[in-house]
Chain A
Amino acid sequence: MDGKHISRYALLTALAMTLAWLESLLPVPAAVPGMKLGLTNLVVVFALERMSARDAAAISLVRVLLVSFTFGNAYSFAYSLAGAALSLVVMLLLKKTGRFSILGVSVAGGVSHNIGQILVAMAVLGTGRLIYYLPALLVSGVAAGTAIGIAGGIVAKRVRI
């Protein structure tokens, strides 16, 4: 890994932290467990578009670790890791098909992020009841994914790092 690579990682990680901090300030109407804006996903979407799958995975993991340590607890770590991992896998697969732009990839990422978290919640709570949250999680995932996909597309086109 060369110096340029490392500085890119550092830059993107710093950006993810800033977004996580911003998100923690926003009064999100999250009555639904698992419902999150997922602003930090912007960084992963960007890495996926402009760097490699491996870079995106590494940045995603570092993001989850740092954000959990800073804004969450040990418990929320497992929770966000599940969302991030599922989201990353789904985004990689969708990108591989070549049938979707950064927008579609980001939407799938947002939705699967929410699904991953609700699955962990169901396992932890030992109840399948939470399934009725799924429609709201799908809609919020689509909304967040669309916003991040559009923003990510603009950033990926304009920003040279």
Chain B
Amino acid sequence: MKQKLRGDFLLILVLLAAAAVLYFVFRPGEGGAWAVVTVDGEETARYPLGEDLTVTIGGTDYNVLQISGRAAAVIDANCGDHTCIRTGTVRRDGEAIVCLPHRLVIRIEGGEAGIDGIAG
């Protein structure tokens, strides 16, 4: 039993260490410039983060995307789980909001700044 508990402990340690390493590897970057919308893996729109707006994505399956203060958030949606809304705001390059039921991803990308032309 003691031997097995040592196995358990090592396993937990390895998993947590892996999580720590991966956290630093995949850490999102600086503030991004674009909110890129993809549905089913296809890019359908991109909005500059520099310009505040509220837009409804989709029809019967809808998500309301709000961009304000160089950050993006889904403020309303008719998906079952509302994970996309609970994600809150995203602003950094590499971050994403996901709505699985609607197969929607809104990801933040860096690069050239939005319409206001200020790179932050």
Residues of A within 8 A of B (CB): 29-33, 72-73, 75-76, 79, 98-101, 103-104, 107-108, 111, 121, 124-127, 129-132, 134-136, 138-139, 141-142, 146, 149
Contact = CB atoms under 8 A, between A and B. Distances in A.
A64 B103 CA distance: 21
A135 B103 contact: no
Q: By DSSP majority rule, is chain B's interface helix, strand, loop, or mixed? A: mixed
B16 interface: yes
A125 B98 contact: yes
B7 A104 contact: yes
A111 B17 CA distance: 13
Contact of B1 (A32, A101, A107): A101
Contact of A138 (B4, B22, B42, B105): B22
Q: By DSSP majority rule, is chain A's interface helix, strand, loop, or mixed? A: helix
A108 B3 CA distance: 17
Interface residues of B, number: 38
Interface of B: 1, 3-5, 7-8, 11-12, 15-16, 18-20, 22-23, 26-28, 38, 40-42, 80-81, 83, 86-88, 94-96, 98, 100-101, 103-105, 107
